[in-house]
Structure 1
Amino acid sequence: MLQEGHLDDNNRQQGGLPATPDERTLDDPTPDEAQPTAHGTAGGIIPAVPQTALDLLRLLAQDAPADLIEARALQATDSETAAVARALALRVRAGIDEHRRREAELSALVETARDLASAADPRGVLDAIVRRARGLIGTDVAYLTLYDPQRGDTFMRATAGSVSARFQGLRLPLGAGLGGLVAQTRRPYWTADYPADGRYAHTSEIDDAVDEEGLVAICGTPLLVDGEFVGVLFAANRTRRPFTREEVALLGSLAALAAVSLVQARRTAETADALAALSAAHAGIESAATAHDRFSEVVLSGGGVDDIAATLGELLGCWVAVLDVDDGRLAAHGPVPPGDLAASPAVTRSAETGRLAGADGRWAVSVHAAGQRLGSLVLGGRGDLDDGQGRTVERAAMVTALVLLFRLRAAESDQRVRADLLAELLARPEGGPDAGLVERGRLLGLRLGVPHVVAVCRGPVRGLAVTAGGGGGLAGPHGEDLVAVVPGTDPSAVAEALSRRLPDGVTTGTAGPVVPGCGLREVHERAQRTTGALVALGRPFGSARELGFAGLVGPGDVGAFLDDVLGPVTGYDARRGSDLLGTLDAYFAAGGSPSRAAGALHVHVNTVTQRLDRVATLLGDDWSTPARALELQLALHLRRLGGPPT
């Protein structure tokens, strides 16, 4: 039985189920568990498969439920064999059911995020939250309380399945009842029998409301956004029911989605209220009313910065440009002049004051949201702005900030989901395709069932995930490196293309191709070794296929090896200005033929012979034996790789 209580480090071990005797027998078989045997035709003894085991395997293949498997096992005449087969079959059945449950929960969370994102007002978000919580956890009632900072308590705001008006109007002081304890500690708590549970501070008001609703089992988890407490999400049953840790964790995941969506809905409502206030303050001015309607339409229809720039330009009859935080141009409307708009005095002044500023026939206002600067809005090509027009520009900047903030948060959320998927793919050994991973990739616009190349980028790679991923790819940090999984079949071409997109100082090694849905662990390890070898060789990019054996070397190996094998010849060339290394290279390339080497070098064969005699003097007479010749050829190959890639 799962121990009820809060989910913390002190009771992580609570709720574990002890191994049953059957489970201990299956995990640690004893010598007495001999399998039935039958005599073979050649006089040997081969194992015989019990009919019970075959029947259970057949039921598993037919996706039969656990109760049918158990019923078939109980019909078997061989009780000892049937017990082992039953336990094994039920364990396999339980694993299949658990996998399906997790897949269903993931799909449900994705659907929940989609529903929450489509809710246009805070009330719609709250209703969607409690409906989903009730359905996902499978309880009689789900409800949500919001934190009231003025009164220092939480109040009931949305319910699903509730029938009691008294319960729906309940307020929970901090620390009172289960919900008040969740709000006070900001940690989840749950109980199978709240009325009889003495761990919570019961009050007559709360207990009477809970009794009128008929609730017995209750689970509550906090809604938190960046450390800010928003409220509490509950799932409750009218009969005694223990909550599993999986259910508590699922409710927590839903609460995390709900908290972010609720805060975003509040901000949207606040922006809509601000626009309404602007309209009310300038009700007598037609242009202000028009601006309000137009910007409201942009926000509520999900428009982007292009739409904001076009709307403002049309309202004021001017050109408009939207700059990002790095002063790059995000959007433009009208004949925007060429050149660096960020260097305009108006942009500089606005960045300093945070307010609308004008200079040299241009106007600019800094775009801020959530305490950070997101860019600037610049306009020109018209006369001075009156007070109403100035407020219209500032309102446009506020709407721009809202749109950019939503885009930023969406990008951050998308990147987190992609990073989790990439980590799972990199941890999975190569094997058969995982349909669940492929489907998750499809939801992100990825095709994980076709060949990809794995790239490991090392160096100053922070913040380059989007650049490395490119169109249709997947990229994210992994340890100190940046790993990119890029569609394609040519590792060399991918390495070169990434090197062009990434800044100087980043070394890129690739391996593959491989189908990501089948696992990336082995190919990722080859790409890591390739990148390490490229760093050691001083090359900016390359593939495992190009390096061959050289991909096995590591930092510090190359210089010592070259010095041991070629040091005397390299030193001689440096002192005398000769080219014995070039002669050696040509000699081996010619298959050990001095005459062909002389032709390649455009010298007389006697010159090649004399140079090789000098090599023998420097390296020893055994330099041309197979073992020494192999070492020399490897060293010459590494020396060539140490130069710029061809």
Structure 2
Amino acid sequence: MPRTALELLRLLAADAPAEQIEEKARALAAADPDDGDAARDLALRVRAGLDAFRRREAELSALVDTARDLASLPDPGDVLDAIVRRARTLLRADVAYLTLHDPERGDTYMRATAGSVSARFQALRLPLGAGLGGLVAQTRRPYWSADYPADEQFRHTNEIDAAVDDEGLIGICGTPLLVGDEFVGVLFASNRTRRRFHHDEVALLGSLAALAAVSLVQSRRAAATAATLAALSTAHEGIAQAAAAHDRFVGVVLAGGGVDDITAVLGEVLACWVAVLDVDGSRLAAHGPVPDRLGRNPSNGSANGSAEGFADPLADAPAVRRSAETGRLAEADGMWAVAVTAAGQRLGTLVLGGRGGLDAGQGRTVERAAMVTAVVLAFRLRAAETDQRVRTDLLTELLSRIPGAEQTAVDRGLVERGRVLGLRLQTPHVLAVCRCDEPRRRGIALAAGALGDGRALVAEHGDGVVVLLPGRDASAAATDLVRRVGGPAASGTVTVGASGPLTPARGLATAYAEAGRTADALVALGLAGTGGSARDLGFAGLVLGAGADVEGYLARVLGPLLDYDVRRGSDLAGTLAAYFSAGASPRRAASALHVHVNTVSQRLDRVASLLGDDWQSPERALEIQLALRLHRLRTTRQG
């Protein structure tokens, strides 16, 4: 097995393809049939995991590139052509095409194609409910077929079937273009052979369609705005400023800039302070002397002007609330705010102030800034969701793995998946369970995800939030979590139970149960809103926690001593019990045990070396006596 594993690991390190790994594994299996198959399966799983992660990364990168391309195309026609070209490339399709909704006729018509050779197909119109595209338009849901001509789930018409046959299309997938409740059209990817579209491919086409819908609507609005501006006096200073600012915003995005850069450009153009809040009211970026309180002292422009993880004071400003209700630019008390939205989803708010007023052109500049900010935030959100989904899947699998005789070995596949995410799952970690009201869980999960220098795994699991952090001190980790993610909230407190240190790659099910019992015991003790470990609670955790873990309690209190007795065939536990029964008198204990007092003293010295020099302190002594009694009861009943 070592040689088999080494050969396969070398191939993985060299980024060898799965076919080469399979070929090498078969050769090794012939020489080592007992372990070769298992090594091959594990190597292929690691290879598949790496391929999947790289594929997601490549798809996300491609979508970001698409956004930048679309942001630089003011003409709606160019936007549509760019969309279908990118769809054909990303899905490796023979033909990609896009139909637009015609509200007056109630159907959709072909508007842009890539890879099409049939003039008849390029002039096709799809009535509502007819064909695959008509069904997508009617239901506003994606549909796909591996063999469309023979697929009876769609209503075929002679005109549609003839056009599809003329183009030679067999496998077709279509997904709607939606902006909020507005239906824009349908984006398709198709092949001239049978093709089964997998769910991740449908999701990728859907992501591109969402981006396409937003870009198309925005480009239409931009074109309409440009037409309106052209009709106005070209000498109007505000209009010229809006156009110049728009060019600067686009340049920032194309150069790879973020929300901070957009905020700085807007602040310089309008000579004012600017802040961007996320959907929860926390400050993402700021420029200039942004007020740290409404109407009071300004901050230095840092993006961290609010308490960590909690809403910025600007979130309660009347202009911000009014903009959230209307979705448009609003003004109140010398402050302006506009909601940042993409595809009907509110992503945050752009807020500014510190100037006398805004004319029409300057108002358009603010709206343009909000539009570009929405694109940047939408892709940041998509990237974060992708990363969090991968991390959640990994944590869920670790939680389902139960350490035991059959699973004592480290799962190398999990280790490799963790390494791709920058995690070291073979090093000491602490597992924490956060108990809180359901409305708070999402916010706590987001706040906890930033801990551990980005090396934390976080997921909503069961009736709480589970956090896996690098470290050895469970008590300190629980206390720190309460401080960082607890805070004041009307919906209730956060109670944290922690377990560790542990090795995540060996499984987390046992640690998760212990951390959950600890959190429940803290609540039962009236200590909601605090954090601690099973060691902090001692026997109180055993009594109050749901599903008492007697074995775990004995291991924590008497583990080294009981292990010593098993290995040496001694009875230090019996000596210790006699010692406490004799009122902590070695002489009386010796008499009860029928041994010399020096023998008792020597055994107690050994107890101290196993349990620590403080084993006779009042608190430790009480725990030890309780554990000895439990051990004696279990031994008696088992005997």
The residue that corresponds to 2:118 in the other structure is: 164
Secondary structure of 2:262 counterpart: helix
Query: 2 CA distance for matches of 1:144 and 1:403?
Result: 26
Matched residue, 2:171: 218
Indicate whether 1:260 and 2:210 are aligned: yes
The amino acid across from 1:257 in the alignment is S
Task: After superposition, give the CA deviation of every residue in 1:244-265 in whole Å (9 maximum; x if it has no partner).
Answer: 5xx4434323333333333343
1:508 to 474, 496, 500: 496
Relative contact order, CA 8 A, sep 6+: which one is greater?
2
> CA separation in 2, counterparts of 1:181 and 1:94?
42
Question: 1 CA distance for matches of 2:445 and 2:161?
Answer: 52
CA deviations 1:87-116 (Å, max 9, x no partner) are x99999899878866764554343223202
Determine the structure 1 residue equivalent to 2:514: 526
Quote the residue 2:186 is aligned against: 231
Aligned mates of 1:346, 1:251 — CA distance in 2: 42
Aligned-partner Cα distance in 2 for 1:466–1:396: 26
In the TM superposition, residue 189 of structure 1 has moved relative to its aligned partner by 4.5
Structure 2 counterpart of 1:459, which letter? Answer: C
- 8 Å CA contact 2:517, 2:547 repeated in 1: no
Q: How does 1:18-33 map to 2 (within 5 A)?
A: none
Q: Which residue of 1 aligns with 2:397?
A: 424
Q: CA deviation at 1:152?
A: 3.6
Residues of 1 paired with 2:228 and 2:433: CA distance?
52
With the length of structure 2 as denominator, give the TM-score of the two structures.
0.62
**Does the 8 Å contact 1:325/1:376 carry over to 2?**
no
- The correspondence of residues 37-76 of structure 1 with structure 2, limited to 5 A, is 63-64=21-22
CA offset at residue 475 of structure 1? 1.4
User: Aligned match of 2:269 in 301, 315, 321?
Assistant: 315
Q: Secondary structure at the match of 1:128?
A: helix
- Of residues 432, 452, 458 in structure 1, which corresponds to 2:435? 458
Distance 1:318 1:257, change over 3 A: closer
Deviations 1:538-585 (A, max 9, x none): 442112344456544445899xxxxxxxxxxxxxxxxxxxxxxxxxxx
> Is 1:111 aligned with 2:58?
yes
Aligned residue type for 2:211:
S
User: What is the root-mean-square deviation in Å for CA atoms of aligned residues?
Assistant: 4.8
2:118–2:166 contact (8 Å) kept in structure 1: yes
Could you list the runs of 5+ residues in structure 1 that have no partner in the other structure?
1-59, 74-84, 136-140, 559-587, 596-628, 639-646
Cα distance in 2, alignment partners of residues 61 and 108 from structure 1: 18
Which residue of structure 2 aligns with residue 134 of structure 1?
Answer: 92
Match of 1:365 in 2: 337
Q: What are the residue-to-residue correspondences of 1:386-535 with 2, within 5 Å? A: 386-400=359-373, 403-404=376-377, 407-408=380-381, 411-412=384-385, 414-429=387-402, 437=414, 441=418, 446-448=423-425, 450-460=427-437, 461-462=440-441, 463-469=443-449, 470=451, 471-472=453-454, 473-503=456-486, 505-535=493-523
Q: 1:529 to 1:408 in 2, by over 3 A?
A: same
Structure 1 residue 477 displacement after superposition: 0.9
Q: Read off the aligned partner of 1:523 and give its amino acid letter.
A: A
Give the Cα separation in 1 of the matches to 2:543 and 2:472.
Answer: 25
Q: 1:542 to 1:63 in 2, by over 3 A?
A: same
**TM-score normalised over the length of structure 1:** 0.61
What is the rounded CA distance, in whole Å, between the counterparts of 1:92 and 1:317 in structure 2?
Answer: 64
Query: Which deviations, in whole Å up to 9, do the C-alpha atoms of 1:445-481 show, x marking residues without a partner?
Result: 5554543321101123422112222231121211210
1:542 equivalent to 2:492? Answer: no
Q: Is 1:374 aligned to residue 374 of structure 2?
A: no
Task: Show structure 2 runs of 5+ residues with no match.
Answer: 1-17, 71-78, 296-313, 488-492, 549-578, 587-620, 631-639
Larger displacement relative to structure 2 (474-483 or 496-505): 496-505
Q: Deviations over 1:50-76 (max 9, x none)?
A: xxxxxxxxxx9985569x99xx99xxx
Cα offsets for 1:253-283 (capped at 9, x unmatched): 3333333333343355356547645754463
Over the matched positions of the two proteins, sequence identity in percent amounts to 46
Q: Residue 173 of structure 1 contacts residue 180 of structure 1 at CA under 8 Å; is this kept in 2?
A: yes
Letter in 1 for 2:583: G
Distance 1:214 1:357, change over 3 A: closer
Aligned residues of 2:100 and 2:110 also touching (Cα < 8 A): no
Task: State the Cα distance separating 1:525 from its structure 2 match.
Answer: 2.7
> AA paired with 1:456?
V
Contact 2:145 2:151 in 1 (8 A): no
- SS of the counterpart of 1:475? strand
Structure 1 match to 2:614? none
Flag the 1:282–1:173 CA change in 2: closer, same or farther, 3 A: same
Paired residue total: 488
Matched-pair contact (CA < 8 Å) for 1:279–1:292: no
Q: Tell me: CA distance 1:634–1:65, structure 2 relative to 1, closer, same or farther (3 Å).
A: same
Change (3 A) 1:165 1:279: same
Is it true that 1:143 corresponds to 2:92 in the alignment?
no
User: 1:409–1:512: structure 2 CA closer, same or farther, 3 Å change rule?
Assistant: same
Instruction: Spell out, residue by residue over 1:5-35, the C-alpha distance to the aligned partner (whole angstroms, 9 max, x if none).
Output: xxxxxxxxxxxxxxxxxxxxxxxxxxxxxxx
Q: Deviations over 1:485-507 (max 9, x none)?
A: 11223222211110211326321
Which residue identity does 1:375 align to in structure 2? T
Distance in 2, Cα, partners of 1:556 & 1:633: 23
Partner deviation per Cα, 1:211-265 (whole Å, 9 max, x = no partner): 33334x4243534768876525343334xx4x55xx4434323333333333343
State whether residues 223 and 255 of structure 1, in contact with CA within 8 Å, keep that contact through their aligned partners in structure 2. Answer: no
Indicate how the Cα distance of structure 1 residues 301 and 102 shifts in structure 2: closer, same or farther if over 3 A, else same: same
Q: Which amino acid aligns with 1:233?
A: F
Tell me the distance in 2 between the aligned counterparts of 1:190 and 1:156: 20
Residue identity in the other structure for 1:235: S
Structure 1 residues 453, 101: CA separation in 2 closer, same or farther (over 3 Å shift)? Answer: closer
Paired residue secondary structure (1:172): strand
Matching residue of 2:556: none
Contact 1:130 1:158 in 2 (8 A): no
- Matched residue, 2:626: 634
8 Å CA contact 1:116–1:129 kept in 2: the answer is: no
Instruction: Using the TM superposition, give the Cα deviation of residue 285 of structure 1 relative to its aligned residue in structure 2, in angstroms.
Output: 3.0
Judged with a 3 Å threshold, the aligned counterparts in structure 2 of structure 1 residues 110 and 90 are, in CA distance, closer, same or farther, namely: same
Partner in structure 1 of residue 553 of structure 2: none
Give the letter aligned to residue 294 of structure 2.
Answer: D
Return the letter of the residue paired with 1:188.
Y
Distance 1:492 1:149, change over 3 A: farther
Q: 1:340 to 1:326 in 2, by over 3 A?
A: farther
Preserved CA contact (<8 Å) 1:183 1:231: yes
CA spacing shift, 1:171–1:489, aligned 2, 3 Å: farther
- Summarize the alignment of residues 338-353 of structure 1 with structure 2, pairs less than 5 Å apart: 339-341=293-295, 342=314
Higher alpha-carbon Rg: 1
> 2:249, 2:369 within 8 Å by CA — same for their partners in 1?
no
Task: Kindly state the Cα deviation for residue 323 of structure 1 after the two structures are TM-superposed.
Answer: 5.0
Q: Is the 8 A contact 2:515 2:534 kept in 1?
A: yes
Is residue 127 of structure 2 the alignment partner of residue 173 of structure 1? Answer: yes
2:101–2:108 CA contact under 8 A, matched in 1: yes
Could you tell me how far apart the structure 1 residues matched to 2:144 and 2:278 are?
44
> Contact between 2:340 and 2:374, CA under 8 Å: does it hold in 1?
yes
